[in-house]
Structure 1
């Protein structure tokens, strides 16, 4: 089976149901979960306030601030990610994915610059030196408009909300581990299961935050996004379950 490949790993140490070690894990997981949810409360409220401005801008218009800016630079770059997993038959599979990113740097009226990844269609229209209209929310650039096209970004509160939700999800995993399993079989398996558990959360948390900020798009894009979420969450779940094949 899958874990037999790691013959050098220490044997499992079972914690009795009411042992001190198991309750420490449960308490730690609960504490991290609560801290994540409490920390997310403020960014959640701010993101909801941003959503109200988005709704106002869509129905009335001109609810965001505007500032004249320009496209200072643009570039493309690639990143490569490799995922390795072992199936139930003990065979190791490696998937390598190369992603092309399109980055645009804009300059504000005060001379400050900021770079963000954008869609390929927006990148094609955003030429270096071209004037741009910057859309502002509480002094923060949340949108850039050029040539009749616009690229919108999550406000800082949305990015902060993502971080707190990831922390809460991590705490939930620790809590469930202490309640349902509670045995120890080495640092390698701890790191591996943590990676698999958190891998399941990346896209769902992003979808939740985007929905809070901009609302739910019921078009075909949503169906594609859900399909991606199920696919990658399924990979994480299979890795996690595969590591528990002897429990």
Structure 2
């Protein structure tokens, strides 16, 4: 006597399940994470070296190189910033504010010019004329005029933030491959990717600022931390809810 043979239903391939696709995602995320962290080693060392130089400058001064220069131009301009917030219930709110920027342009001995935003107090003191440019690894990181100084993070801080952020993205891809997340469409994948990248953007850049000794102080730092935590909490909640929602 023979019994009818029933073939098992095909197993659905998903990055969160036990399938070849899952391991491809895990390998890709791990590769991005490792490569990014290795690439961040050099910028990390240089950024922390700059922070130590800034500490030396605050304690005694004269730790950076100096070069004569001039304040060639200065101006103010305004920009409009529109911010959209989405709360945990999916409600979207938009706010707009006008920001006034104070910009100075300095000129080095070789004739090259560079413009940077400064705070209003330094802007008021930085009349056009002679200035002392402070150098680190050949890069202008500070401008001194009579009665005031403005300091700027080095370009390597931006490189550090880039590699750390790429490592954060790689970590997200790795977790997506390891966790039992069911595949429920490209739109949900894009939504979760947005939540993850938005959740880590400000913390990564604040970490790079901290390593460079470039964090603000007082109310400015408090507002930055509160804003960072608020955005991370909102986007993190959105991500968790999308992962735990019940399928129809």
Normalising by structure 1, we get a TM-score of 0.82
Q: CA deviation at 1:150?
A: 1.7
Q: Alpha carbons of 1:156 and 1:91: their partners in 2 closer, same or farther (altered >3 Å)? A: closer
Normalising by structure 2, we get a TM-score of 0.82
Q: Does 1:102 align with 2:81?
A: no
Other-structure match for 2:7 = none
Q: CA deviation at 1:195?
A: 2.3
In structure 2, what is the Cα distance between the partners aligned to 1:17 and 1:222?
43
Alignment map for 1:199-238 (pairs within 5 Å):
199-214=198-213, 219=218, 221-238=220-237
Q: CA deviation at 1:200?
A: 1.9
Contact (CA 8 Å) 2:85, 2:92: kept in 1 or not? yes
**Which ranges of structure 1 fall in alignment gaps of 5 or more residues?**
1-11
In structure 1, what is the Cα distance between the partners aligned to 2:187 and 2:16?
22
Q: Structure 1 runs of 4+ off > 4 angstroms?
A: 12-16, 215-221
Alignment map for 1:1-247 (pairs within 5 Å):
14-15=14-15, 17-73=17-73, 74-83=75-84, 85=86, 87-88=88-89, 91-127=91-127, 129-214=128-213, 219=218, 221-246=220-245
Q: Alpha carbons of 1:16 and 1:75: their partners in 2 closer, same or farther (altered >3 Å)? A: closer
Q: CA deviation at 1:184?
A: 2.9
Contact (CA 8 Å) 2:76, 2:100: kept in 1 or not? no
In structure 1, what is the Cα distance between the partners aligned to 2:98 and 2:192?
25
- Count of paired positions: 234
In structure 1, what is the Cα distance between the partners aligned to 2:87 and 2:212?
38
In structure 1, what is the Cα distance between the partners aligned to 2:196 and 2:131?
41
In structure 2, what is the Cα distance between the partners aligned to 1:196 and 1:227?
18
In structure 1, what is the Cα distance between the partners aligned to 2:224 and 2:189?
30
Q: CA deviation at 1:152?
A: 1.2
In structure 2, what is the Cα distance between the partners aligned to 1:243 and 1:95?
25
Superposed CA offset, 1:34-79 (max 9, x none): 1111110000111122122222222232010111222223332304
Q: CA deviation at 1:221?
A: 4.6
Give 3-state SS (helix, strand or coil) of 2:212's partner: helix
Q: CA deviation at 1:133?
A: 1.6
Contact (CA 8 Å) 1:13, 1:185: kept in 2 or not? no
Taking only aligned residues, the RMSD between alpha carbons, in angstroms, comes to 2.6
**Which ranges of structure 2 fall in alignment gaps of 5 or more residues?**
1-11
